[in-house]
Amino acid sequence: MYFKGFSIARATLSQATLRYRQGGSGDPAVLLLHGHPRTHATWHGVAPLLAERHSVVCPDLRGYGESSKPPSDARHAPYSKRSMASDLVELMTQLGHRRFIVAGHDRGAYVALRLTLDHPDLVRGLVILDAVPISEALRRCGAEFAQAWWHWFFFAQPDKPEAAINRDPNGWYGDPEQKRRLMGDRAFEDYQRAIHDPSTVIAMLEDYRAGLGIDREHEEADRAAGRKVRCPLLFGWASGDDLGRLYGNPVEIWREWCDDVVTEQVFDCGHHIAEEQPEQLARAILGFAKGLGDEAS
């Protein structure tokens, strides 16, 4: 059943309002962060399984879904991963979670990394799904990456990408019936509302515009200062996606960013791991959480 046992609410924060679901009980809490162009609904097959042992929180990131869309600026700072991460610290504090696991997929992985680097005392464990740091992807950018990930550079352009997407959202994002089968009816309907909202489309693009500028600067500053992830990391990637082709063994990139243990898991599926392999992903996160031991609480 769709998010069985979960409630849905909105949290008013200092710079944004976030829609979120929460359910379950038990420490450490698990914060689940979606990617583009999804909403929190992408986790509907995973979250209830985690909620059997943990408190689980699934927000729409700032700018996505039904969360608010603050005005941007010339540097796209309101859509930096630092700004998004600050929202989530406020949210988890409001909900009474002192330390927690954060798991992020796709764009949500960049927010999860930034949250962990900026607020290391709050994050007990980090789960990264199908992503490497933005600065690492850009540093390795060659013809193959540019051809496969051209949307990063198109989305950074002014005005044109939103005009193209808003003209025909389903034409842009792909066969809606195929996505319905993958996502399930209710998650698909939530996704449809998001991609057909022009203000959401613009905000999602601001996320990418921040990525090529201010987010990259923040990551490069971390590397220059020697800041690394101080908690254990679970890195999961999909064999049917392109991380292996682009980076060989992408877990080695994450080991360079971490001072603690890095565990790797490869999922036999495409990019949307939470939708294609929800049970396997839930088991992986539960095992990771259990391995954190008593310090997790």
Nearest partner of 188 among 23, 4, 44, judged by Cα: 44
pLDDT of residue 234: 98
Tell me the Cα Rg of the chain.
18
Total-model pTM: 0.97
What are the sequence ranges of the domains in the chain?
7-296
What is 7-296's CATH number? 3.40.50.1820
Task: Write the pLDDT tens digit of every residue in 208-235.
Answer: 999 999 999 999 999 999 999 999 999 9
Task: Write the pLDDT tens digit of every residue in 154-189.
Answer: 999 999 999 999 999 999 999 999 999 999 999 999
* Catalytic residue status for 106: yes
Give the DSSP per-residue string, 69-113.
Answer: -----TT-GGGSHHHHHHHHHHHHHHTT-SSEEEEEETHHHHHHH
* Catalytic residue status for 271: yes
Amino acid letter for position 261:
V
pLDDT of residue 97: 97
- Residue 162, H or E segment: helix 160-167
Annotated catalytic residue, options 60, 87, 106, 222 = 106
Angular region, 20: left φ>0, alpha ψ -120 to 50, beta rest: beta
Cα 282 to the chain's mean position, in Å?
A: 16
> pLDDT tens, position by position, for the chain (297 residues)?
899 999 999 999 999 999 999 999 999 999 999 999 999 999 999 999 999 999 999 999 999 999 999 999 999 999 999 999 999 999 999 999 999 999 999 999 999 999 999 999 999 999 999 999 999 999 999 999 999 999 999 999 999 999 999 999 999 999 999 999 999 999 999 999 999 999 999 999 999 999 999 999 999 999 999 999 999 999 999 999 999 999 999 999 999 999 999 999 999 999 999 999 999 999 999 999 999 975 444
Annotated catalytic residue, options 119, 242, 259, 271 = 271
Cα 53 to the chain's mean position, in Å?
A: 22
Q: Which two tokens stand for residue 63?
A: 């700018």
**Cβ–Cβ < 8 Å for 86, 15:** yes
What distance in Å separates the CA atoms of residue 13 and residue 95, rounded to the nearest whole number?
Answer: 12
